[in-house]
Amino acid sequence: MARAPRATRGNKGVVYGDQQIVRGTGGETNQRAEEGYDLLTDAQGHPVADDQNTLRQGVRGPALIEDSHFREKIFHFDHERIPERVVHARGYGAHGYFENYTSQADLTRADLFQREGERTPVFVRFSTVAGNKGSSDLARDVRGFAVKFYTQEGNWDLVGNNIPVFFIQDAIKFPDIIHAAKQEPDKEFPQAATAHDNFWDFISLTPESMHMVMWIMSDRTLPRSFRFMEGFGVHTFRLVNAKGKSTFVKFHWKPKLGVQSVIWNEAVKINGADPDFHRRDLWNAIQTGNFPEWELGFQTFDEEFAANFDFDVLDPTKLIPEEILPVQLVGRMVLDRMPENFFVETEQVAFMTQNVVPGIDFSNDPLLQGRNFSYLDTQLKRLGGPNFTHLPINAPKCPMHNFQQDGHMAFHNPAGRANYEPNSWGGKIGGPRESVERGFQTLAVEADGPKVRQRPDTFADHYSQARQFLISQSPIEQQHMTDALVFELSKVEVPTIRLRMLGHLRNIDEAFAQSVADGLGIAELPPAATPAVATRNDLAASDALSILKNPVGTFAGRKLGVLITDGVDAKLVDALKAAIDAAGAVMELVAPMVGGVVASDGTRIVAHHKIDGAPSVVFDAVAILVGDEGVLSLLKLPPARDFVTDAYAHYKFVGFTDPAAKLFARVGLPDDLDDGFVPLKTARDAKTFVTTLGQMRFWDRPDGA
């Protein structure tokens, strides 16, 4: 294969070899037919000049519907799967409500934000992105976080992720990033995994993805639960008030229980023990009345801020640090009801970014513009026809009137004589009429410039915020990112792909690149990739981007697994249960047999799980409450030994009674136990232990995973 030319900056775009192409600063390698490649054409055989940028009115202007190449490309992509979603196939949802804190009328005329305390019904769907419908919950992956608000003026779909940035800057590249991440088409594996050549080949040729790479290699892609995830609208939107004043906004969801992730070794074992781990967690929380909550936050700013900010607010690969622009919390969302039927609701729900209500409008973000086109087409394919909005899960809860009729699976048609407008029939027979006062009006924003396939120069910095994210992490989180990259790139079979990635990492941080190279056994770092814009080293760390720098300090919403045997102290079990209940957490008992054990006072305690069905990886912390004789039975059980060694390796707090020392010795734990091991003798010890669990993990354990 011909060697791909190196890109350099040009005053009209990017220069590739000896050919200057008027395009953007995305940095993608232009693999030209003249150098040994086949000529790229559309499905009609028309040669394609630019497959990297949608056509727009001016470099920062809106996308144009006349872009037939983009429309054909995204149309074909949207129709690739029958009937499963192409992306976000594995999802789980719940009903609830959004409660507005105070009126936001100064910012937006959106009805749901006008009145203090008003509740708006919502349906939320969480999902993985790359895996198929039958994949496991704890793949290393971005998580979808889509919210449908059933407002009094129609449905608003806030279709976001648990990461605030994305891989690409232009929607025309969306089929490419997903194709690269999905199973390789000849092998049809691996699924729900990016640890393969195609993904990293694409990424290593797409410098704009480097910020997202830092996020997907972080602990954010291994969430402990849907309940412990942040959510982001990703794009810059607009809020418009009743006077027509516009304010830019970025949307945030902040979990009341804090953000928490698992570590990679846990994720691998959880997927084996319970591939429905996230689904089960949400189901159990809602069924037991522990309703998950998030607060909705706005980052609002004006044109002056946008013009002076270090990066382009229309670039979906960039974020605005909370230290620069704090998040204003405007309401809370509570999920309190599971669907009655998974298929009817969670599988048939249709989210579309273009579903906004009066008072919310779009920016010219090129990825958002493309999504607005794509989602409607997707629903047509997946749900079989134009009447998917008639399905109860998708139908507005406010009155709906229009002249649309017939079509596949029509549930209702307009009543009366008129099925068109304008018409001269009066009253109800004439049907609905538009309203200038109440209807949605697009903000009048001027767009000027030539029709071009080009990205603005303000999109050209691909490394500075990637570096900022890295330096914002704690040393533990940075090590996890190093380990993740080493693991992923070790699965890449073509050495040059690894070297290209290391060249990009050098532009982010030299020491970080070296640590990844060391993990891969690469003796000499390759030259750094040529950046379109040099990396900035003056961006301050943002602690808000770290999970571990923002501890929750409580065990609420978490789960303690307690391994018990015959001879256990029943009063200690009761004391631990009382302390866990008081903390708003859950305690589950694990025993050699699910029938339970006989306590020291002769009573029988029934277990929730058999030992080989509930390994310690499915709990946030564990306790070993065993009797003198009962512990002897555990010494012979490999699952019991794994229960302890995994808890130790995963930095979990371990409460224990004295006889557990025999089990610790059997698995080779140090004689001098660290402070993550808490002796349990009395009810007071139980309370102290549960308070300690608010630290979540005991990271000062050198021999952890």
The CATH code of the domain that includes 655 is 3.40.50.880
Give 499-540 pLDDT, tens digit per residue: 999 999 999 999 999 999 999 999 999 999 999 999 999 999
Give 634-667 pLDDT, tens digit per residue: 999 999 999 999 999 999 999 999 999 999 999 9
Q: How far apart are CA 488 and CA 101, in angstroms?
A: 44
Q: Is residue 394 within 8 Å of 349, Cβ to Cβ?
A: yes
**Among candidates 656, 597, 599, 660, which has minimal Cα distance to 632?**
660
Tally Cβ neighbours within 10 Å of residue 39: 10
Q: Is the dihedral of CA 138, 144, 145, 150 positive or negative?
A: negative
Per the prediction, the chain carries an average pLDDT of: 92
Q: How far apart are CA 119 and CA 133, in angstroms?
A: 32
Q: Do residues 9 and 110 both lie within one domain?
A: no
Predicted confidence band at 66 (pLDDT cuts at 50, 70, 90)?
Answer: confident
Q: Within a 13 Å sphere around the CA of 46, how many CA atoms are in the beta-carbon half?
A: 11
User: What are the CA-CA distances from residue 412 to residues 281, 395, 398 (Å)?
Assistant: 38, 12, 16
Q: Do residues 105 and 21 both lie within one domain?
A: no
Q: Provide mean pLDDT across the span 392-416.
A: 86
Query: Among 359, 390, 421, which residue terminates a domain?
Result: 390
Predicted confidence band at 26 (pLDDT cuts at 50, 70, 90)?
Answer: very low
* Domains: count for the chain: 3
Predicted confidence band at 703 (pLDDT cuts at 50, 70, 90)?
Answer: low
Range in 32-46, 61-75, 241-255 with the lowest mean pLDDT: 32-46
pLDDT at 30 over 70: no
Q: Do residues 238 and 167 both lie within one domain?
A: yes
Q: How far apart are CA 63 and CA 65, in angstroms?
A: 7
Is 488 domain-assigned? no
Q: What are phi and psi of 592, to 5 degrees?
A: -55, -30
Q: pTM of this prediction? A: 0.90
Predicted confidence band at 3 (pLDDT cuts at 50, 70, 90)?
Answer: very low
Q: Provide mean pLDDT across the span 45-70.
A: 86
Instruction: Provide long-range contacts, Cβ within 8 A and 24+ apart, for 346-350.
Output: 346/91, 346/92, 346/93, 346/125, 347/91, 348/383, 348/388, 348/391, 348/393, 348/394, 349/93, 349/123, 349/125, 349/148, 349/393, 349/394, 350/375, 350/379, 350/382, 350/383, 350/388, 350/389, 350/391, 350/394
Query: Among 370, 390, 410, which residue terminates a domain?
Result: 390
Is 564 domain-assigned? yes
Position 36 scores a pLDDT of: 64
Is 289 domain-assigned? yes
Q: Do residues 248 and 379 both lie within one domain?
A: yes
Predicted confidence band at 39 (pLDDT cuts at 50, 70, 90)?
Answer: confident
Is 89 domain-assigned? yes
Is 91 domain-assigned? yes
Q: What angle do CA 508, 514, 515 make, to 5 degrees?
A: 100
Compute CA 597 distance to the chain's CA centroid, rounded to the nearest angstrom: 41
Q: How far apart are CA 24 and CA 702, in angstroms?
A: 47
Amino acid at 533: V
β-strand partners of 93: 125
Amino acid at 260: Q
Q: How many residues would you count in the chain?
A: 705
β-strand partners of 19: 16
Q: Within a 13 Å sphere around the CA of 704, how many CA atoms are in the beta-carbon half?
A: 21
Position 37 scores a pLDDT of: 66
The terminus-to-terminus CA distance of the chain in angstroms comes to 41
Range in 378-382, 591-595, 651-655 with the lowest mean pLDDT: 378-382
Q: How far apart are CA 268 and CA 274, in angstroms?
A: 10
SS3 string of 180-239? Answer: HHCCECCCCECCCCCCCHHHHHHHHCCHHHHHHHHHHCCHHHCECCHHHCCEECCCCEEE
The whole domain housing 581 covers: 559-695
Is 343 domain-assigned? yes
Q: Is residue 394 within 8 Å of 93, Cβ to Cβ?
A: no
pLDDT at 274 over 50: yes
Q: Do residues 638 and 567 both lie within one domain?
A: yes
pLDDT at 406 over 80: yes
Is 421 domain-assigned? no
Q: How far apart are CA 334 and CA 345, in angstroms?
A: 18
Both tokens of 58, joined, read 């001016």
Position 568 scores a pLDDT of: 96
H or E segment at 171? Answer: none
Q: Do residues 317 and 377 both lie within one domain?
A: yes
Instruction: Provide long-range contacts, Cβ within 8 A and 24+ apart, for 539-542.
Output: 539/310, 539/464, 539/465, 539/467, 539/468, 540/321, 540/323, 540/468, 541/468, 541/471, 541/472, 542/321, 542/322, 542/323, 542/468, 542/469, 542/472
Compute CA 47 distance to the chain's CA centroid, rounded to the nearest angstrom: 36
Q: Do residues 359 and 238 both lie within one domain?
A: yes
pLDDT at 112 over 60: yes
Q: Do residues 301 and 368 both lie within one domain?
A: yes
Q: Do residues 570 and 672 both lie within one domain?
A: yes
Q: Do residues 21 and 103 both lie within one domain?
A: no
Query: Among 390, 414, 438, which residue terminates a domain?
Result: 390
Q: Do residues 161 and 257 both lie within one domain?
A: yes
Q: Do residues 36 and 96 both lie within one domain?
A: no
Both tokens of 285, joined, read 């929380």
Question: Which residues are marked as active site?
Answer: 88, 161
Tally Cβ neighbours within 10 Å of residue 669: 18
Give 433-450 pLDDT, tens digit per residue: 878 888 888 888 888 899
- More confident site: 38 or 53: 53
Position 17 scores a pLDDT of: 34
**CATH number for the domain including 95?**
2.40.180.10
